């Protein structure tokens, strides 16, 4: 059975389609009597407006698209919370999608979002080529989270990865570490600035850097550690993110090394995973909820307020010391 339309509600309430439309949009210029009749009819029929017919007719969109690069990473769930809250408050519907950390799937996901003709799109940690991003930006306001861009039509929300890595390295150095390795995020978004920050900090302390290629996953953290064991493990590891760190810790313990007694580990993100008591991961905090809110706000400003110049939010990361870092053991 087909869903009831505005026409059905109008017929039942004994009014015109236009009046039902006004009631549904909360117009003040409707008499109390009619409003009640319409609402009752709508309720009885189980009517809810057809969002897409609405946006087609009104030539506006009340949809924001969100592409999440990895639904498995709790980090994004927390960013989405912030986005969702803001979008909801502004009367926008969120359409979420996932790109599975693969450029090809992300491209599909982006095309999918565009086909809804959303008012704006947030790309959370995209690994898409820049060309795909600028093509999409030609027709729709775009905000990137955890990825930078120089396009003037694209807003960005990032934490300062260089600073975050430096905080972590400085902390480890202050504990006495000299052999500090970095598992990077590979092609993942924001892995470059974090790596750069690590390299710069190591140079500043006069220490030899050691980088292994990784990915923002637990499995990649474990794999990277297996590489790091030869010829000799470092005394500290700066992981690509929390997920990666947890995988690294698992692999270290599997190799008979204890954390933090033998090896210190620092994560990145400060998700709930890091806060778990028996993970207790020292990590670099990103204000996840705030980042989501800023992303939503950036889109809303373009859509509602007509802002045209790009917003560039660069947030200050913060080190959270827990129990996976300690002074290195005397060798």
Partner DNA sequence: TGAGGTTGTTAGAGCGCTCTAATCGGGGAA
Partner DNA sequence: TTCCCCGATTAGAGCGCTCTAACAACCTCA
Instruction: Establish if 25 lies at the interface with DNA (CB under 7 A).
Output: yes
Instruction: Establish if 136 lies at the interface with DNA (CB under 7 A).
Output: no
Instruction: Establish if 308 lies at the interface with a second copy (CB under 8 A).
Output: no
The token pair at 267 is: 């994560």
The 10 Å Cβ neighbour count of residue 232 is 9
The 10 Å Cβ neighbour count of residue 14 is 11
Question: Rule CB under 8 A: which of 131-150 touch a second copy?
Answer: 135, 138-140
d(CA 271, CA 98) in angstroms, rounded, equals 19
What is residue 316's DSSP assignment? P
In this structure, are residues 169 and 236 in contact, taking their beta carbons and an 8 Å threshold? Answer: no
Site string for DNA, 26-65 (x = CB under 7 A): --xxxx-xx------------x-xx--xx-xxxxx-----
Buried b or exposed e, range 280-300, using 16+ CB within 10 angstroms: ebbbbbbbbbbbbbbbbbbbb
268: partner contacted, choices DNA, a second copy, none (Cβ within 5-8 A by kind): none
In this structure, are residues 234 and 255 in contact, taking their beta carbons and an 8 Å threshold? Answer: no
d(CA 162, CA 203) in angstroms, rounded, equals 13
**Which of 58, 111 has the CB closer to DNA?**
58
**Which of 138, 206 has the CB closer to a second copy?**
138
Question: Rule CB under 8 A: which of 94-123 touch a second copy?
Answer: 94-98, 100, 108, 111-112, 114-117
19: partner contacted, choices a second copy, DNA, none (Cβ within 5-8 A by kind): DNA
7: partner contacted, choices a second copy, DNA, none (Cβ within 5-8 A by kind): DNA
Q: How many residues does the chain have?
A: 331
Instruction: Establish if 231 lies at the interface with DNA (CB under 7 A).
Output: no
209: partner contacted, choices a second copy, DNA, none (Cβ within 5-8 A by kind): none
**Which of 173, 237 has the CB closer to a second copy?**
237
**Which of 160, 218 has the CB closer to a second copy?**
218
**Which of 38, 240 has the CB closer to DNA?**
38
Torsion angle, alpha carbons of 14, 19, 24, 30, to 10 = -100
Question: Rule CB under 8 A: which of 247-266 touch a second copy?
Answer: 249-251, 253-254
> Tokens 């109008």 sit at which residue?
10
* Helical residues (DSSP H) of the chain, grouped into ranges: 6-13, 17-24, 32-45, 51-58, 74-89, 103-114, 130-137, 161-175, 191-204, 218-228, 242-254, 272-275, 288-304
192: partner contacted, choices a second copy, DNA, none (Cβ within 5-8 A by kind): none
Q: Is the dihedral of CA 140, 143, 149, 151 positive or negative?
A: positive
Beta strand pairing call for 282-285 and 264-269: parallel
The single residue among 8, 81, 289, 290 that binds a second copy, judged by CB under 8 A, is 81
Instruction: Establish if 231 lies at the interface with a second copy (CB under 8 A).
Output: no
Which residues sit at the interface with a second copy, rule CB under 8 A? 1-3, 46, 48-53, 55-56, 71-72, 74, 77-78, 80-81, 84, 88, 93-98, 100, 108, 111-112, 114-117, 135, 138-140, 218, 246, 249-251, 253-254, 272-273, 276-279
Which residues sit at the interface with DNA, rule CB under 7 A? 2, 5-7, 15-22, 24-25, 28-31, 33-34, 47, 49-50, 53-54, 56-60
């Amino acid at each position: 059975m087909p869903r009831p339309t505005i026409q059905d509600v109008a017929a039942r309430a004994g009014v015109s389609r236009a009046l039902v439309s006004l009631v549904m949009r909360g117009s003040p210029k409707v008499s109390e009597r009619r409003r009640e009749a319409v609402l009752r009819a709508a309720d009885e029929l189980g009517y809810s407006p057809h969002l897409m017919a609405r946006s087609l007719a009104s030539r506006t969109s009340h949809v924001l698209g969100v592409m999440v690069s990895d639904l498995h990473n709790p980090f994004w769930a927390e960013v989405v919370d912030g986005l969702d809250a803001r979008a909801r408050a502004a009367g926008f519907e969120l359409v979420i999608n996932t790109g599975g950390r693969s450029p090809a799937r992300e491209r599909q996901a982006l095309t999918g979002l565009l086909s809804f003709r959303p008012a704006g799109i947030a790309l959370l940690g995209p690994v898409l080529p820049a060309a795909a991003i600028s093509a999409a930006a030609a027709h729709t306001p775009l905000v990137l989270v955890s990825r930078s861009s120089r396009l003037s039509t694209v807003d960005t929300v990032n934490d300062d990865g260089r600073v975050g890595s430096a905080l972590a390295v400085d902390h480890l150095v202050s504990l006495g570490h000299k052999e500090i390795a970095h598992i990077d995020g590979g092609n993942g978004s924001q892995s470059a600035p974090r790596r750069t920050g690590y390299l710069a900090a190591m140079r500043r302390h006069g220490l030899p850097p050691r980088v292994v290629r990784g990915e923002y996953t637990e499995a990649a953290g474990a794999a990277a550690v297996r590489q790091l064991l030869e010829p000799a493990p470092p005394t500290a590891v700066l992981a690509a993110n929390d997920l990666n760190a947890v995988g690294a810790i698992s692999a270290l313990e599997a190799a008979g090394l204890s954390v933090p007694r033998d090896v210190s580990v620092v994560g990145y993100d400060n998700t709930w995973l890091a806060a778990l008591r028996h993970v207790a991961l020292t990590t670099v905090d990103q204000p996840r909820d705030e980042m989501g809110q800023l992303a939503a706000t950036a889109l809303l400003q373009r859509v509602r307020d007509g802002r045209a110049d790009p917003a560039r939010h660069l947030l200050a990361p913060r080190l959270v010391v827990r129990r996976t870092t300690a002074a290195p053991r005397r060798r």
